[in-house]
Each structure stands twice: as C-alpha cells, then as structure tokens.
Chain A
C-alpha cells in the first residue's frame, strides 16, 4: 500500500486521479478499522491531514462553511452553529463517544455514507450543501444528492469533498437532534433530526429527517407538510409519523429489529418535536 500527504486540494486531486483504487484518509475512524478487519485494502491512501483548506471554517451572511476535515468535537463546540444550524452541532455533540468525536471528521462521515450514522441525517435536516472538487473543477450540490445509497455517494472517480455549507435557515427556527441507542457509545437505533419554527402555537416550518431508517437519511416532504400549519397535537404527530413509517425501510440488526424501529419512529418524533418546541419558546 502507498501513502501520501498532499498539502493542497490540487495535489490531492492529482494523486487521486493517477492511482487506481486510491482512498482518502480523513479521521480514519472507520477506514482504518475496516482495513484492520480486512474488509478493504486500498492500494493507496491519500491523507488529507495537511491540507489547510479542508480544516477551515468560514462565515458568510447566508451561513457557515465547515471544512471537510472538521472533527466532530470541533463541530460540536462551534458556537456559531445556532438556530436551524444547531441540529448539526447537536448531532455532532452526541454521536458515538469522545474518542470517535476527537478523531472522526465531517467529510469522512459524509463520504462513508453509513446508514447507521446520524450526522448525514442532521445535515439533510439542515438543508446542507457540499462542495466537491474534481478533475473538472468544483461543484456544489445538496447533501441529499451526495448520499445515493448505503455506503454509496455520487462522488466520481478522482473527486474529493472539500467543505459543507450550512444555511442559516429561517429566523426563529431551531434545530434539534434526538438519538436513541442501546448504550451511550453505540450507533443510534433511530435518530431524529429536525428544524422547526413556531408561530405562536402553530408550526410554521418543519423539516424532519430520520437516521437508520433506510439506506440514506429519510426525509418525507408530506410528513413535513402535515406538521406545518398544525399545532403539533398528538394526531398531527401520529400522522406525520405514519407517513415516515410508510416511507421507511429501517435497518434490521442487533440494535433493533425493523419492526421496533418502525415502532420508535412516531414515538421519538413526538419527543423530538416537543423538545424542539421547548427550545423554540426559550
């Protein structure tokens, strides 16, 4: 196996384009353990650690750009992630355990596209976009278009995820992330990421995204539509939950059967909404 530490995105792209079966090494939390387990054996590792651009956070009027190499702990402690963007901060602060949060990265988590993980779902809830650099230059796309399947992204050969854009969202909106897991240091059995805005007692905006309920984060426009304009009463939550369950294809594993996950969807949705509502009223 070959190994390189480029210092710019362009150097990295050059390495990726000239080697078959090259893999980017970000935090290494998943890639290295999968290599140790013999599940993957890349011919070349391109470490992204020395590329300063990938570790840079920039703020604009519209929102925040987070570098792909931002570790979860940095995202979790980024004070500028407020309002709707809080959903990402909240997810990053809860996921896995401290050792992983100190090691794993935002870009690594997205490019792994593991349906068991929760950060991709939180990014979809935040309406995030990603910037991708490749042989043909840079392009930007909604995060949903990056995540195309379980462990599958739309990245082309020789492409590299550089940064993630989080829009500020509606004024007054709150972001919230609720995870349920067997023990604290585990993948979530089900996670609920949402952005919510209230106009008095009436929901004026809702974007609900579930993790571990399908090959990619589960977002159902119709479920959001049920909540918007409602007073988030039990029957509204139940109806939104029903639509989400209907659209879900939950994982079925040691963390919970698919049936249990279907039971959890409306129940956790109700809890997540009432918690978010508390935040919205603060």
Chain B
C-alpha cells in the first residue's frame, strides 16, 4: 500500500464463503494418489535426463571426452558447457552457468547432462563421460573464504574481498555512545545450519521443443511460471514469446523452487535430442545439486537499561551463500533488515556479509534470512531478561513496536499487533504457571517453557488477475499464481467468491500457464494470498461495477441503490423482491449491450525506500516489500539428561493473520511452519566433510516425522484485519518457521539452565551444554 495514502476501510465479504474452512479441492486426489505431478506426465517419444555432478569442490576443467557416452546405445544427447550459450544467470549477480564452465565450484555441481531412452541408460552414460580436472584449493567455510590468501571462487567484481558476494551496513542512532548507559549488556555468537527444503517432490521438468516452430513447452515443479519462462529465455538466449510454462501439481517448494531448478538444462537437452525430455532428480541429486538455507554465524550484542528499555544493538552477520550468489544478496538484505527484531531499539549498528564458499549454493528458504537473525535476537533477549531479572514476555512487551512506529530504516509499522500476540500467547500457554511450576516428569527428564516474538513481512512485487463472467453467471478467475501445496488456490477462490457473493462452485480458478494466465511474480515472500488476493478483489470490484451498470438498466434503478446478494444476484436495497441474476446480466451484456463482462487488475507492491536521513545505509540491494506481520510462539520441551535429546511436547503459535480466509488452511500453515522450525531447531543440518556432503539422503538428513512432533501445536489466529490484503488478510506462510527455534532453545534453557547458541540442538550438543552448565556446580559442591 502507498505509505502516503490514507488506508481504505477494509471491505467486507459478501456471503459465507470467506472465513470457512472449506477443504482444498485437490486434497482427495493427493491422498488417493491421482494428482498429476510433473514426473507423472509422459509425452510420445519422451527421453529421460540425468546430470553428472562434480567430484570436486573446486577444480579447473581441463578437458571433456563424451565420446564413450555418446556411443552408448539409447543415448540421444550429451551436453557440457561447450554445447551451451556462454550465459551466466542469477537474480542479483550473474554468476551461474547451467553446467559448470571452466571450473567447478562445489562437489555435486552439474558438469554434464545426458538424455537417453530410459533412466538406467542415462545414468550409465554419465559414468562413461570422462572429464579431466585440475584440483584447486577449496574454501570450505566462511572463515577460510575470507582469509586474504583464500582461493578465489569467482572473478573479482570490484573492491573488497573477491569472495564477498554482498556487504551491507545499516546504522541508526549513535550505538557507540550509549553502551555506557546500559545496565545490562549481553554479547554472544550464534550459529545456524544449512537447512534443506526437503520438499516431498524433488525438482522435475518435462520439456518439449516443437520441431517446426522451435516453440518450447515446459511442465515443471516451480513456485513461478513466469520467472521460469524469463530465466529459461535468458539462459538459452531464446525470446520469451517462444516459451510456454505450465505448472502441474507441486509437491512443496518452501523457497527452493523460486529460482530456476533444472528447467533450462532440460530444455537444452530436449533441443539437442530433438525429443521431449523429462528430468526428475533423485532425492540425493536434488540435495547435492539444488540449494539450502544459508548457514549463518551471527555476533550480536544488546544492551538495556534497568527498567527494561533496550537501548543499543550491534550485529555482525556472516551468511554462507555457497558457490553461487543466487538469492543470497536478498537474503542478506532481509537478515540485516530484521536483525533489530520487532523492537524499538534506538541505536543500532548492523553489518552483514554474504560469502562465497565451495559448497552447495544457499538461496531462498521460508523465512528468507529472518530465522537466522531471530534465532540470535530472541535468545539474546531472553538472556537480557535473565540479567535484568525480568519475565521474558514482559521485556518483549516493553520493547514491542506499536502501530505507527518505525522499523529499522524508517518504514512505518502499519498494524503493530506484536503486543496482542504476546499477550495472547501468555494467556493460552498458561505461561506463568508453566514457567514457575514446570510439570513433573519421569526421572532423568526436565521440562521447560520458552517463547519467541516474531516480526516478518508479507507481500511484495507484482501480480495481476483477470476475472471474467461466464454466460451462466459463474466466474473464471485467472492469476498465474502457483499453489505449491499450501492452499492458495482455495483461499484465492474464496476471495473471489467473497468479493462477488458467489459460492465456490460458481468460481473456476484457473491454473498457471504463461500462454493464458496474467502475470504473477512468484509464490514466495508470504505474498500470494496478500498480493494476488488484492488484485482479485480489485478486478472483482470492476466486475461488480459492470454488473451494476447493466443491472441498473435491467432493474430500472440507479446504481447506488443496488447491492450484491449471495449466490450471484444483484438486488435493490430495500426492495427484497427486486433482483436479477449474474446469468441474466451476462446474457444481457453478451447479446444486448456492452459486450462480455471482464476485468483485469494489476499491482506492484510499493517498495519502501529506506530513509537515509535516519539510517546510514551501505550496500543494501532493493527489496521491495514491507507489510509487517507479527506472531508469538511458545514451546514446551522435555530434555533427557541422559542423552541430551529434546522432545517438544506442546506449542502455542499466535499469529495475527488479519483475516482468516480459510482458518483450517491458515492453521495448517502455522503448524507446518512450526514443524519445519522444530526440525531446524533440533535435527536438520547439511554436513560436509572435505567439501563433500555426507548426508544427502532422507536417512542421513533427518526431518521430523509424525512421531517426532507434538500432537498439540495450537494455532491461535488473531484477526486484526487491516491493509490492502483481501478483506484485511495478512500473510502467514513463512512466519511460522521464524520463531520456533529460539522458542525451543529458550525452553531448553528454562528446563535445564543449559545455554545453546548453536542449532540444531542435537542430543550431542545439548548433552555437552548440560555437562558444561553442571560442571562449575560440581566443582563448588
């Protein structure tokens, strides 16, 4: 929304559809296995693709010999970088070739691609490709990469260390001068892991090239049909007009499918082979070749006065972006932007580096840089409360940003509901009782309760929608938005139904297809329901105007006396008997006057420009987002003193969702976010040894299963409707993951006194922290 314009009053939906927990229409086909995903699709003559990964984390490519692979019967195409246009792609820094060119920068990086009549043949062909490498020294972590004599991973792009992809500095107030006024100062270093998305459906693409026209059709698992179209066009030097992208069902994405995955290389294989090619990664290839959340090391120092006013904070963030920048610069921007937390801290000094290393690239992942800094901030705030002898919720309440206050950088908080979230969390979790008298448990186990406050953003960038009235009065809604499984198709259909007073049966919500859908940027950034929902309500409003114009003629009443009635009816206010149906109006428009009823709406979420009079800003790339949303998450844990293993017993997640369009779907997002955060907190971590991933499998890398999560994750949806989202809805998708880890770590501290500044809090780390905590006591005793 424009920050100057007065906020419009939040519109009220017509009928009962908005706010109902209607089941997702695709639920049954998914449960029964009928849903069609990309890997289920088959085209005549289709070949199977596979990629060869680099055996070295850093090496020069000296020579290729693909002759043996090409000679294998059944092989139709073998590609290396020599067969591709010399184009590098990347959303911020153009540093990524489709296949390694000149050198490889991480173990597993695709170096060659094969298309063959079946997958076993394709995989055998990969083994027959000979590549000679000259192994180079590798920079395997941020420290190694920042040494003055570190191996240089990419050609330097200017000043500074060549392995620094992004450097950001944000300073407000005079932090150096106020430390002396602080009564308590906490200072620590926090570490977070490279978590992986582990979407159920590995990345997959089916590409076909029309032999006559050269037109390319892509079916793929993605978060964005339009960015796939644009990136493929860029990578293969083909105009976008020659590319069509369609998106079948998507089995989860979580940010891992925001940028291109294997679409461009699959198209290149289809072109080279002259036949359709489907390339579906194995789980292990997906884990070795795609991307992860940024591992981070965060130095943070926070000071407060005796009465609990946080005065100053200094933050130094190092994000490990791996071998390619990908979305790393934006992640660094969000991380910097959120490192003050949802608090009013007048004096802040933030510096952030995104650093290249010879590891898997890190990119977008639910929370986008924010879970890392919230982890540091929310643990530090708890320690500050301890030092001040204050209740952790009380300290957070004293510093919570309120409506009208400014975020770091000066953007206004439009709907400051953190206070309401914290107070509700305190109530529903029975905070004081559980904190003061943790429930008893079996011998060798201890229980504790912890909280995290959460601030995040929803909505960004551009969306459009077309709404068209059918002859019978039902409605087609086209948006280009991808439902990645989170349920946006359902919620957005409910938005259209609520805007026009229709039932869901009267709405056809079309699936994304770049040939026919209006543009949508991406299902990411907690934006789809908010931003696409906004353009749907705007288009529906135009349709309503057209309906009323015709209804006025049909009913012989002025437009201002007309009203929408549930079920696709336009009536006259105060005259219950006088009405006409959408079907009748549509017929009138189609055959008597005016022409088809149709409307489009478009919107670019207005980016907040940082206020450089207030904030000293260096190196922050544009972000273009900013409707702030708030939550509070409470976790109760049980810590096993014998092994260090932590079980989460119960959780309370209070989220201000503005308006719950579909409460069950919103609750699902809240619970799913918490579970993903639980994995981040306790078990999930990519581990490398000598530059090679040691756990690229579901066996080695553990996401929590059904038996590892609490039965009771209580989603509590506050509905403080406000802003330009549909009917005042705010985003919820990413928010649930942001505070889970610090809430759990704070609960471990409460249960045992053990201090953990690193996740995942594996049994080993927790046991060592427990022993370290108990060691001085033993000495004294």
Partner of A186, one of B284, B702, B767: B702
> What is the CB-to-nearest-CB distance from B433 to chain A, in angstroms, rounded to a whole number?
30
Task: Give complex CA distance A97, B707 in Å.
Answer: 10
Rank and list the top 9 A-B pairs by shortest CB-CB distance, nearest first. A184-B707, A260-B764, A267-B642, A183-B708, A254-B695, A183-B702, A185-B705, A254-B700, A180-B643
CB–CB A264/B643 < 8 A: yes
Q: Which of chain B's residues has its CB closest to A267's CB?
A: B642
Can you list 22 contacts pairing A with B, beta carbon distance less than 8 Å?
A: A38-B123, A97-B707, A180-B643, A180-B763, A182-B645, A182-B683, A182-B702, A182-B762, A183-B683, A183-B708, A184-B707, A184-B708, A187-B699, A253-B700, A254-B694, A256-B762, A256-B764, A257-B764, A263-B767, A267-B642, A268-B642, A271-B444
Partner of B643, one of A185, A257, A268: A268
Residues of B contacting A97 in the complex (Cβ-Cβ under 8 angstroms): 705, 707
Task: Give complex CA distance A180, B767 in Å.
Answer: 13
Interface residues of B (CB under 8 A from A): 123, 284, 444, 642-643, 645, 683, 687, 694-695, 699-702, 704-705, 707-708, 762-764, 767
> What is the CB-to-nearest-CB distance from B286 to chain A, in angstroms, rounded to a whole number?
14
A158 in the interface (beta carbon within 8 A): no
CB–CB B763/A260 < 8 A: yes
CB–CB A271/B763 < 8 A: no
Q: Which of chain B's residues has its CB closest to A270's CB?
A: B642
Residues of A contacting B705 in the complex (Cβ-Cβ under 8 angstroms): 97, 183-185
> What is the CB-to-nearest-CB distance from A30 to chain B, in angstroms, rounded to a whole number?
11
Task: Give complex CA distance A37, B284 in Å.
Answer: 9
Q: Which of chain B's residues has its CB closest to A256's CB?
A: B764
> What is the CB-to-nearest-CB distance from A241 to chain B, in angstroms, rounded to a whole number?
12
Flag A249-266 by CB within 8 Å of B: 1 or 0 each: 000011011001001100
Task: Give complex CA distance A254, B287 in Å.
Answer: 16
Task: Give complex CA distance A270, B643 in Å.
Answer: 12
CB–CB A267/B708 < 8 A: no
Interface residues of chain A: helix, strand, loop or mixed (majority): loop
Residues of B contacting A182 in the complex (Cβ-Cβ under 8 angstroms): 645, 683, 702, 762-763
A193 in the interface (beta carbon within 8 A): no
> What is the CB-to-nearest-CB distance from A185 to chain B, in angstroms, rounded to a whole number?
5
CB–CB A189/B763 < 8 A: yes
Residues of B contacting A257 in the complex (Cβ-Cβ under 8 angstroms): 764
Residues of A contacting B123 in the complex (Cβ-Cβ under 8 angstroms): 38
CB–CB B687/A185 < 8 A: no
Q: Which of chain B's residues has its CB closest to A36's CB?
A: B282
Task: Give complex CA distance A263, B123 in Å.
Answer: 43
Q: What would 13 more interface pairs be, CB under 8 Å, given A37-B284, A180-B643, A185-B707?
A: A38-B123, A182-B763, A183-B705, A183-B707, A184-B705, A186-B702, A254-B695, A254-B700, A256-B762, A260-B767, A263-B767, A267-B643, A271-B642
Q: Which of chain A's residues has its CB closest to B707's CB?
A: A184
Task: Give complex CA distance A180, B643 in Å.
Answer: 8
Q: Which of chain A's residues has its CB closest to B686's CB?
A: A254
Q: Which of chain A's residues has its CB closest to B703's CB?
A: A183
Residues of B contacting A183 in the complex (Cβ-Cβ under 8 angstroms): 683, 702, 704-705, 707-708
Q: Which of chain A's residues has its CB closest to B762's CB?
A: A182
Residues of A contacting B699 in the complex (Cβ-Cβ under 8 angstroms): 186-187
Task: Give complex CA distance A257, B768 in Å.
Answer: 12
Q: Which of chain A's residues has its CB closest to B123's CB?
A: A38
Task: Give complex CA distance A268, B687 in Å.
Answer: 26
> What is the CB-to-nearest-CB distance from A214 to chain B, in angstroms, rounded to a whole number?
19
Task: Give complex CA distance A29, B514 in Å.
Answer: 43
> What is the CB-to-nearest-CB distance from A255 to chain B, in angstroms, rounded to a whole number?
8
CB–CB B707/A256 < 8 A: no
> What is the CB-to-nearest-CB distance from A135 to chain B, in angstroms, rounded to a whole number?
34
Task: Give complex CA distance A88, B683 in Å.
Answer: 28
Residues of B contacting A264 in the complex (Cβ-Cβ under 8 angstroms): 642-643
CB–CB A180/B645 < 8 A: yes
Task: Give complex CA distance A187, B705 in Å.
Answer: 14
- Identify the interface centre among B444, B695, B702: most chain A CB within 10 Å of its CB: B702
Residues of B contacting A189 in the complex (Cβ-Cβ under 8 angstroms): 763
CB–CB A254/B687 < 8 A: yes
Task: Give complex CA distance A256, B767 in Å.
Answer: 12
Task: Give complex CA distance A70, B561 in Å.
Answer: 77
Residues of A contacting B444 in the complex (Cβ-Cβ under 8 angstroms): 271
Residues of A contacting B707 in the complex (Cβ-Cβ under 8 angstroms): 97, 183-185
Task: Give complex CA distance A166, B677 in Å.
Answer: 45
Q: Which of chain B's residues has its CB closest to A271's CB?
A: B642
Q: Which of chain B's residues has its CB closest to A257's CB?
A: B764
Q: Which of chain A's residues has its CB closest to B685's CB?
A: A254
Residues of A contacting B763 in the complex (Cβ-Cβ under 8 angstroms): 180, 182, 189, 256, 260
> What is the CB-to-nearest-CB distance from A86 to chain B, in angstroms, rounded to a whole number?
21
> What is the CB-to-nearest-CB distance from B771 to chain A, in angstroms, rounded to a whole number?
8
> What is the CB-to-nearest-CB distance from B677 to chain A, in angstroms, rounded to a whole number?
15
Task: Give complex CA distance A260, B284 in Å.
Answer: 27
Flag A159-200 by CB within 8 Å of B: 1 or 0 each: 000000000000000000000101111110100000000000
Residues of B contacting A254 in the complex (Cβ-Cβ under 8 angstroms): 687, 694-695, 700-701
Residues of B contacting A187 in the complex (Cβ-Cβ under 8 angstroms): 699
Q: Mark out the residues of chain A between 230 and 280 whose CB falls within 8 Å of any chain B CB in the assembled complex.
A: 253-254, 256-257, 260, 263-264, 267-268, 270-271
Task: Give complex CA distance A103, B700 in Å.
Answer: 20
Task: Give complex CA distance A208, B701 in Å.
Answer: 30
> What is the CB-to-nearest-CB distance from A140 to chain B, in angstroms, rounded to a whole number?
34
Residues of A contacting B704 in the complex (Cβ-Cβ under 8 angstroms): 183
Q: Mark out the residues of chain A between 89 and 110 whose CB falls within 8 Å of any chain B CB in the assembled complex.
A: 97
Task: Give complex CA distance A264, B643 in Å.
Answer: 6
Task: Give complex CA distance A254, B688 in Å.
Answer: 10
Task: Give complex CA distance A187, B704 in Å.
Answer: 14
> What is the CB-to-nearest-CB distance from A221 to chain B, in angstroms, rounded to a whole number?
25
Task: Give complex CA distance A182, B695 in Å.
Answer: 14
Residues of A contacting B701 in the complex (Cβ-Cβ under 8 angstroms): 254
> What is the CB-to-nearest-CB distance from B301 to chain A, in angstroms, rounded to a whole number?
31
Residues of A contacting B702 in the complex (Cβ-Cβ under 8 angstroms): 182-183, 186
- Identify the interface centre among A185, A187, A254: most chain B CB within 10 Å of its CB: A254
Residues of A contacting B708 in the complex (Cβ-Cβ under 8 angstroms): 183-184
Task: Give complex CA distance A186, B767 in Å.
Answer: 19
Residues of B contacting A180 in the complex (Cβ-Cβ under 8 angstroms): 643, 645, 763
Q: Mark out the residues of chain A between 104 and 135 whose CB falls within 8 Å of any chain B CB in the assembled complex.
A: none
Task: Give complex CA distance A124, B284 in Å.
Answer: 34
Task: Give complex CA distance A182, B763 in Å.
Answer: 7
Residues of B contacting A186 in the complex (Cβ-Cβ under 8 angstroms): 699, 702
Q: Which of chain B's residues has its CB closest to A274's CB?
A: B443
Residues of B contacting A38 in the complex (Cβ-Cβ under 8 angstroms): 123
Task: Give complex CA distance A267, B643 in Å.
Answer: 7
- Identify the interface centre among A183, A270, A271: most chain B CB within 10 Å of its CB: A183
Residues of B contacting A263 in the complex (Cβ-Cβ under 8 angstroms): 767
> What is the CB-to-nearest-CB distance from B113 to chain A, in angstroms, rounded to a whole number?
18
Residues of B contacting A185 in the complex (Cβ-Cβ under 8 angstroms): 705, 707
Task: Give complex CA distance A105, B767 in Å.
Answer: 34
> What is the CB-to-nearest-CB distance from B759 to chain A, in angstroms, rounded to a whole number?
14
Task: Give complex CA distance A189, B642 in Å.
Answer: 13
Task: Give complex CA distance A186, B683 in Å.
Answer: 11
Task: Give complex CA distance A243, B763 in Å.
Answer: 23
Q: Mark out the residues of chain A between 20 and 43 whose CB falls within 8 Å of any chain B CB in the assembled complex.
A: 37-38
Residues of A contacting B645 in the complex (Cβ-Cβ under 8 angstroms): 180, 182
Task: Give complex CA distance A129, B551 in Å.
Answer: 88
> What is the CB-to-nearest-CB distance from A188 to chain B, in angstroms, rounded to a whole number?
11
> What is the CB-to-nearest-CB distance from B674 to chain A, in angstroms, rounded to a whole number?
16
Task: Give complex CA distance A37, B694 in Å.
Answer: 15
> What is the CB-to-nearest-CB distance from A177 to chain B, in angstroms, rounded to a whole number?
16
Task: Give complex CA distance A185, B704 in Å.
Answer: 9
Task: Give complex CA distance A149, B436 in Å.
Answer: 52
> What is the CB-to-nearest-CB distance from A259 to chain B, in angstroms, rounded to a whole number?
8
Task: Give complex CA distance A185, B444 in Å.
Answer: 23
Task: Give complex CA distance A264, B771 in Å.
Answer: 13
Task: Give complex CA distance A256, B700 in Å.
Answer: 11
> What is the CB-to-nearest-CB distance from B711 to chain A, in angstroms, rounded to a whole number?
14
Residues of A contacting B762 in the complex (Cβ-Cβ under 8 angstroms): 182, 256
> What is the CB-to-nearest-CB distance from B705 to chain A, in angstroms, rounded to a whole number?
5
